[in-house]
Structure 1
Amino acid sequence: MSLPSPEDALPPLPADYRISGHDLRQVLSTALWIGNLSPNFKYETTSEVIKRYADYAWEVQGNMTAKDISRIFGPTEWQADWLIGLFDGPNNFGATVLTIAYSIRPHLPHPASPNIVVPLFATFTVVTALIMALRLWSRYKVAGGIQPFDWLAVVGFALTVAWGGLAVYHDHINTQWQAFYDKSWYNLSGSIEAYYALTVFYPWVMMTIKLSLLLFYYRMTNWNYIRWSVYATTFIVVGTTVSAFIVWLVECPHIRYWEHPWEVCRIDLKRAQLAIAALWIFTDIVIWVLPMPLVFQLKLYPRERLLALLTFSLGAIACVASCYRLAMLEQYTNYDAQGFTMLVINAWTITELNLALICSSAPAVRALAIHYAPKILNSLGTVAFASQAGTQTGKKGSIGSNNSTSGSGSKVGARAKVTADPEK
């Protein structure tokens, strides 16, 4: 007498059944473990592989053995034995996969990944490239030459493009689905690997952009407190970058930790990411407020002072993007009914990196606008570094210094030297 099929033998769940967060996490974890330990079926979705396990468990009536699992699905025998032990024995293992495959599976949600990474990457790459070109032209045409901090920003832009390109690959290998059970192990492991590379690469990109800003602040003034603030902030930025890199390398016994689910990582990955992201936000705020005292010390008319503050305050936009990225790290790295996707985090990271470059280039772009449209913009004055706009003398000056000339007749005689051209 043949056995009835699992569909006929297992009682169906009510039509209005909704899976709980706890059960969903169990399904996601099971999909991750089984997908990882079934290399013979790595191109099938993990939900299909779970069904194969369920059919096998039903056929042998729960008497699942490590030897048979190794033969059918492809793990080593000790890996198969670990998988069985994870579910407290073959009977519980068989009952779990049968329940998932034939009772819960029809009620599982299938959240789709947002299609935002590629459009954001393309848009920001074009816009930021244009801004960077204007910045370099401004430094060459207005300030007399491209400075080291500008070249450092160019390196930061190149790294940002490289990071975004890797994010596009991550978007491709990730597939359109969020949940583990809707992906094959080939896609799932490739997605985790790409995200790991993005996580390791991100601190170096951010460090380069921040160092370009800090070098700019250092070269624009001789105030001791500004320079010492730059030293301290640089120490934190470099220290955070190196620490993050070391954490990602040693967090688990194996770098490719997703291929070793039986190993316990030394460091909580999510908490480490949140802590490092919080440190980046702290340095964002410091870099944002660092030049503000300079603006208040300069003897400018109220309108000029307001416009100067607005130019430097653009950095707050990048701070907001960093805060949103931190919020996305908290929300989208949880196994729950809201879904599990890294693409939203990637999208906010692309936004954060590009906005940092755009905002840091604002003073140079503004100076270029003043240079080419003095009749329209000469009342705006100069900010951050001197220009030859609105003058016929061809002399470089300094903001607020006695030898600077402003088309709007700015007050002169500020006590601190804030040089327009840091080489002077």
Structure 2
Amino acid sequence: MLDSKDATTSGFSEDFIKASRGDQSSITSIAFVAIAGVFLLLRMFTRGIIVRNIGPEDWTILAAWVCSLGLTICILFEVANGQGHHIETLSAEDLTSLQKALYYSIILYQGALVLNKISILCQYYRIFPGKNIRLAIWIMAGVTGVYGFWSIFGNVSMCTPIPSYWNHTIANSHCMSNTAVWFSNAAINIVTDIAIFLLPMPALKQLQLPKKQKIGLMLVFALGGFVCLTSILRLRALHDVTKSTDLTWENGPIAYWSSVEVNVGIICASLPTLKAFAMKFMPHLLNNSSNAGGATSSNRKTATNMMKSRTKNATVTEIELGNKGYADTDALDPNRIQVVTVVEQDREYASDSNSVNSQQKNITGGRPASRGPDMV
């Protein structure tokens, strides 16, 4: 970057030289990747230690977070080389280093998005056994795979040869239109976000559940709507860049909205997997939720005792809720992940282990119900 003296003699004011959006990018990126990392650790602990059933969706979301961490490092490198400053105040060396970091950050951003989508689709596939929804999941996975290949390959080969992306002195180089590639990727990204967000809703509507519980489940899966919102906000920042000649100044909002988008996706994908963690370490939260709506003190005591019984005993009364209701044989299959509900009998003696076992036999036809893994 030009020093203040050189820049001022070139006609720039001191305020113009010092103006920067870089801190917004660096602080926001660090904060969100750290928060997403905490949720990821809780997810891996829940799936690996509590539920003991780590699946491909967990490893995929871990890979997405690694890409997000790489994106954050690239953003910090961009800020160190002038991102967020006015382009007129930057040296040629700063611009070269900044554009090189930008090149890799775009690839990591696209990789994180695609891996996040694949993780969510794997999660859907594990939860919903219906033939139609699984076919829809496969189709959506194929669309996501094609989109992922294009978005990553398109950005890798943006310029030929590749170094000409950041080194404009290379002769006989050719680059695709940034605007065309960026907006096509952003549009497909938003469309696939909305499709993945809506995909499980028909299956959830068919579940044999009380209305409030069904709405609660739909809200859990609707967390992807936050990702759609951040994608749209990033698209607005992208539009501002295409209308500006001060690219390094306008690129700041794109950088931090990109980080917010991928990390919010990781957080939203991880939240539904933490039910077992909450049941083990924060049962009072679920207890309070189950007693909402004016429950009596006796009911509260019963619910608390039932929760204690769940955490201490290996068997819990559970029923699979498939598209057609209860599937007895499937509920006893430990290799399948099922959407389940807990059936409780609201009596004072419910905390007694013999009473609980008696309830289980009545519900499952004389056989002990399988505890199985958590909902997701």
| Cα gap change, 1:208 to 1:176, in 2 (>3 Å) | closer
- Of the candidates 94, 119, 128, which is equivalent to residue 36 of structure 2? 128
| Cα gap change, 1:338 to 1:265, in 2 (>3 Å) | closer
Structure 1 range deviating more: 277-286 or 129-138: 129-138
Q: CA deviation at 1:380?
A: 5.5
The aligned runs of 1:9-408 (5 Å cut-off) are 44=2, 112-174=20-82, 177=85, 179-255=86-162, 256-260=164-168, 265-336=174-245, 340-374=249-283, 376-378=285-287, 391=310, 392=313, 394=315, 398-399=320-321, 401=326, 403=331, 406=342
Partners of 2:341 and 2:156 lie apart in 1 by 54
C-alpha offsets along residues 339-366 of structure 1, whole Å, 9 cap, x if unaligned?
A: 7432211100110111001001111123
* Residues 254, 260 of structure 1: 8 Å contact kept: no
Q: Which amino acid aligns with 2:43?
A: R
C-alpha offsets along residues 53-87 of structure 1, whole Å, 9 cap, x if unaligned?
A: xxxxxxxxxxxxxxxxxxxxxxxxxxxxxxxxxxx
Larger radius of gyration: 1
Q: CA deviation at 1:313?
A: 1.3
Paired residue secondary structure (1:341): helix
* Residues 278, 285 of structure 2: 8 Å contact kept: no
* Residues 189, 258 of structure 1: 8 Å contact kept: yes
Q: Which amino acid aligns with 2:270?
A: S
* Residues 174, 191 of structure 1: 8 Å contact kept: yes
Q: CA deviation at 1:136?
A: 2.0
Structure 1: runs of 5+ lacking an equivalent: 1-42, 52-100, 382-387, 414-418
Q: Which amino acid aligns with 2:212?
A: R
Partners of 1:297 and 1:399 lie apart in 2 by 9
Number of matched pairs: 318
Q: Which amino acid aligns with 2:214?
A: R
Partners of 1:405 and 1:175 lie apart in 2 by 50
RMSD over aligned Cα, in angstroms? 3.7
Partners of 2:4 and 2:141 lie apart in 1 by 46
Q: Which amino acid aligns with 2:185?
A: I
Q: CA deviation at 1:199?
A: 1.4
Partners of 2:158 and 2:147 lie apart in 1 by 16
Partners of 1:44 and 1:301 lie apart in 2 by 66
Paired residue secondary structure (1:394): coil
Partners of 1:46 and 1:277 lie apart in 2 by 38
| Cα gap change, 1:348 to 1:168, in 2 (>3 Å) | same
Q: CA deviation at 1:322?
A: 1.0
* Residues 51, 374 of structure 2: 8 Å contact kept: no
Structure 2: runs of 5+ lacking an equivalent: 291-305, 332-339, 347-362, 365-370
Partners of 2:341 and 2:119 lie apart in 1 by 27
Paired residue secondary structure (2:54): coil
The answer for the alignment partner of 2:295 in structure 1 is none
| Cα gap change, 1:206 to 1:337, in 2 (>3 Å) | closer
* Residues 46, 183 of structure 1: 8 Å contact kept: no
Partners of 2:83 and 2:235 lie apart in 1 by 24
* Residues 288, 316 of structure 1: 8 Å contact kept: yes
Partners of 2:101 and 2:21 lie apart in 1 by 16
Partners of 2:343 and 2:105 lie apart in 1 by 47
Paired residue secondary structure (1:259): coil
Question: Percentage identity across aligned positions?
Answer: 21
Partners of 1:47 and 1:335 lie apart in 2 by 26
| Cα gap change, 1:239 to 1:48, in 2 (>3 Å) | farther
Q: CA deviation at 1:187?
A: 0.6
| Cα gap change, 1:371 to 1:345, in 2 (>3 Å) | same
Partners of 2:206 and 2:89 lie apart in 1 by 60
Instruction: Using structure 2 for the length normalisation, give the TM-score.
Output: 0.73
